[in-house]
Structure formats: C-alpha cells, structure tokens
Amino acid sequence: MLMYLRLFKESFSFAISALKNNVLRTFLSLLGVTIGIFSIIAVLAAVDSLKNEIKGTVSSLDNSTIYIMRFSFGPTTIPQWKREQFPDVTYEEYQFIESKIPDVEAVSYTLNVNPETIKYDGASVENVEIAAVTSGYYNIESLELEKGRFFNEAESNSGSPVVVLGDEIASSLFGNFDPIGKEVRLYGRKFTVIGVLKKQGSGLFGGSKDTAAILPVNFVRRLLGDNNKRAFPAIVVKPKSGIDLSEFNAVISQGLRNFRGLKAGEINNFFVNELQGFTDLIDNITGQLNLMGWIISGFSLLVGGFGIANIMFVSVKERTNLIGIQKSLGAKNRFILFQFLFEAVILAVIGGLVGLFLVWVVSIVLTNFSDSFEFVLSFSNMLLGFILSTIIGLVSGVIPALSASKLDPVEAIRTGM
C-alpha cells in the first residue's frame, strides 16, 4: 500500500511537472477534456434544472389530474385538419361530468383568456393573468390563502363580481393596506376583493399565481360569450385517490361520447389528457436533449483522450533514460505501468476539474442574473464529471503506459543517452 501511495505521489509530481515545463502543449492537450466535461455536465445540469422548473410549475397539481379539451398534450394519430374541426368543451359538459360521472373528487370549468389591466384608485397593474374558473378549482390546485377566502359555489354559479388576487397584484395595488372588501376595476366592471393568495414565487414558464387574478368563470362567460375566440375552455378533473385511472378515463370518454351523441365507430372529438402524460412527455424531451448533449460532447472527449495519449507518448519518449535506470535498479513492469497510468489519470482529472469549475461559475452567474430560473449543479453530475475524467485518463494512458513498462532497460538507457 505504501508503495502505491509513493507511486501516486511521484506520478502527481510528474504530472505537475509536465504542466509546468510544457504549459502550452499540456494546456492544448487538456483543452479537449475540459471542453468535453464542461459540455456534458453543463447540458446535464441545464436539462435537470429545466426539468425541475417545469415540474415545479405543475407540482401543485396531482399527477392523476385530467384535462379535457379539443387539444392533445402529446402526439396523436388524428390528422391536424380533423383536430381543427373538434368543438370546444362546454359548460354544460362540465355540469354533466360534475353530476353524472362517479369517483370525481373535484372538477372545474376554466377559460383561458387574454391578460387584462386591473386598477384600484390611482394604481394599476397591466398584463394580469386572468384565471376564470369555477369554485372546484380551489380543491384541484393546492392554493393557499394569505387573507380572506375563495369564492363559493353560489358565487361561482351566479358569476358574482368577486376576485381573488395573487400576492404580487395585491401588493402592487394596495401596498401595506388590507385589500379585503376593496373594489378593483377589471373588464370595465367593479370587483370586490374577497381573498389574497400566499406568495408562491416566480417561475420560468409562469404557473405562479402571484401575478394572477382568479374570478368566477360565469362572469367571463356572460361578458365574452361561449363562442368567443379570445377564450379557450377546458374541463379539469381530479379523480378520487386509489381508483383505476384507465377505467376512470374510459368512463369519462364514454360519458362525453354519449352526451355529444357520437355513434359507434366515430372517433372521439375531444382529448382526455392526463397530467402524468404531460410529465412523461417532458421526461422524453429532456432525455433526448441529454442524448444530444452526450453525442456532441463525446467528440470533445474523444479529442481530449487523444490529447492526453499524445502527452503520455511524448512523456515516455522524454523519460526513456529514466525508465531504463529505474528498471536496472529493480523496478517491476507494473511499477512503470502504474506510474504512467496514474500520471495520465491525474492529467485527465485536472482537465475535468477545470471543466467542472467552469460549469460551477456559469451556474452561479446564470442563477444570480435570472430572477425566475435556478441553475442547479447537482453532486451526482459533479461526480459523473469526475468519473468520466478518470475513465478518459485510464483509456488514454493505458497504451503509452504499456509501451513504457515493456521497454528493455539496456536499450532504454542507451536510447536516452
């Protein structure tokens, strides 16, 4: 064990010596490893951060949540021209699901509409996200109220002019004053503020309710009408826990088919989208991004491996005389082998550590300069970078190390003189 520790120490000294004596040559040779490790770990970290951000956006929803609409979350075999003919889901269909479909824990009819400007006294906030929903929305999303309450079923059904504000909207309009009971103007009408949501924090892809105003969907329906192209409807269903989701989806599909009067053999003119399918789609996309990153970065690693092999061959040639002397003094072949192999690994690890350091610097810069995105460099990715560097060193150094260990001591001393 002591011999290998001494061998490691000597190999480290030779590696540092190679860096000092041939700075430019070593730098250019290690650049491939540095760029390769930087590229792979940067791509993996970026994809992981992106995945965490997207999944964090939908984390308030249960994976079993279902979205019924005329669009599909993922790929479909139905041609586009046919999908464009699908009708929007209706409020009556929402009522049908709420009253007739079993095992429904909560259901909401939602309208996705354009952002609006909301005003109070002399203050106003533009581009406010409008969430026009029914009362069941509160039980589907994990919403938490800082003040006040959510609108009830009666207010939802009648389309009462009440609104629940996101934290940022409430702060911009009212500052430190209590907004509950105050009247704001939206769509040219007066709305009574009945609740304020707890602060959620911003997200890269939206999803935060801090900049939203939630109001009864029937008010918006009465204002815009049911066939307004500015509004995109959807029915959101949260099934009871523990039920068979595939069977539940089949029941909903059949119920809607009957409600719409579709005949046997006709395709569904709606999509029952599972949120789990959306997260699976995200995993598939990020997996493809990872693969592309590996392929592109692999070329840099290949160049880096050739660079280290080149350094080691030059190192063997420069130290041929020393190898001969070591062998004449009784050094075993494995001693020479491990000496050059350790040196190759150390050089590769140095290049890899530089790459990891650059990724770490980039992650700090991006996180500090972005208010909505956190670039996460995980320990597993850093460990992967270290392991890859070690493997590159082993693979690149094994042939030069073998050639050094097989040198004849007499010929090596004569050649080196």
Q: Is the dihedral of CA 348, 350, 352, 355 positive or negative?
A: negative
Question: What sign for the dihedral angle of Cα 162, 168, 174, 177?
Answer: positive
Strands 189-197 and 162-165: parallel
The Cα 129–Cα 111 span in angstroms is 12
Handedness of CA 384, 385, 386, 387 (dihedral sign): positive
Question: What does the chain come to in residues?
Answer: 417
Of 237, 204, 271, the C-alpha closest to 61 is 237
- Percent with pLDDT over 90 in the chain: 23
The widest CA-to-CA distance across the chain, in whole angstroms, is 101
In DSSP terms, 110 is beta-bridged to 234
The string of pLDDT tens digits covering residues 381-406 is 788 888 888 888 888 888 887 777 77
Residue appearing with tokens 């939203």? 212
Distance (Å, rounded) from C-alpha 43 to C-alpha 121?
A: 48
Q: For the ranges 144-158, 214-228, 236-250, 281-295, which has the lowest average pLDDT? A: 281-295
pLDDT of residue 205 exceeding 50: no
Q: Say how far apart CA 12 and CA 16 lie, in whole Å.
A: 6
Reported confidence tier of residue 28, pLDDT bands at 50, 70, 90: confident
Rounded distance, CA 352 to CA 301, Å?
Answer: 10
Q: Which of 38-42, 55-59, 187-191, 368-372 has the lowest mean pLDDT?
A: 55-59
3-state SS assignment for residue 115: coil
Mean pLDDT of the residues in the chain: 81
Cα separation, 270 vs 72, in Å, equals 8
Q: For residue 229, what pLDDT is reported?
A: 75
The per-residue pLDDT for 281 is 65
Report whether 204 contacts 195 (CB < 8 A): no
Annotate 56-92 with DSSP letters as a single string. Answer: HHTTTS-TT-EEEESS-SS--SS-HHHHTTPPPP-HH
- Residue 7: pLDDT over 70: no
Distance CA 97, CA 155 (A): 20
Mean of pLDDT values over 76-97: 89
- Give per-residue pLDDT as tens, 109-123: 999 988 999 998 888
Exposure string for 166-177, b = 16+ CB within 10 A, e = fewer = bbbbbbbbbeee
Q: What is the DSSP string of 351-372?
A: HHHHHHHHHHHHHHHHHHH-SS
Backbone angles phi, psi at 290, to 5 degrees: -60, -45
Least confident of 88-92, 190-194, 261-265, 307-311: 307-311
Residue 371: pLDDT over 60: no
Confidence bin at 204 (pLDDT 50/70/90)? very low
